[in-house]
Amino acid sequence: MGLTILVAASLPIKFWGESFVTTIHVINTLPTFVLQNKSPHEILFKEKPDYTRFKVFGCACYPLYYKHKVEFRSACCLFLGYSLNSRGYICLSPEGKTYVSRHVVFNENAFPYSTPNNVFKKV
């Protein structure tokens, strides 16, 4: 499943770690027959998981971040998964900087890495 989402997003193998962590997150959130159609998340935390947080791995995203406290900024980034420490999304900027933010706008139909002249291949 981890390799499948890499291929679907046209990402190189160097992102295999992020894809497998995202795959494990999805598996732990989805219901399974073994647990009587409950998810491991539901068994552990006694609450239903939030499926609205699922986004397409490797798609274009625009996290809101601040250069200065009164200046809002955003740039096209790659969606690389879900934060393990917060409810934020992990986004990779073209400069190679990783942002974790809850305030992200997604374009799940665009995959920046698959375009011929993308800026992410330098990262």
d(CA 111, CA 107): 8
Domain spans in the chain, listed from the N-terminal domain onward? 2-122
d(CA 12, CA 80): 12
> What confidence tens digit (pLDDT) does each residue in 62-108 have?
998 766 666 667 888 999 999 989 989 999 988 888 989 999 999 99
d(CA 16, CA 3): 7
| In the block, residue with structure tokens 């740039």 | 75
Q: What is the pTM of this model?
A: 0.86
φ/ψ of 62, rounded to 5, equals -130, 90
pLDDT band with cut points at 50, 70 and 90 for residue 122: low
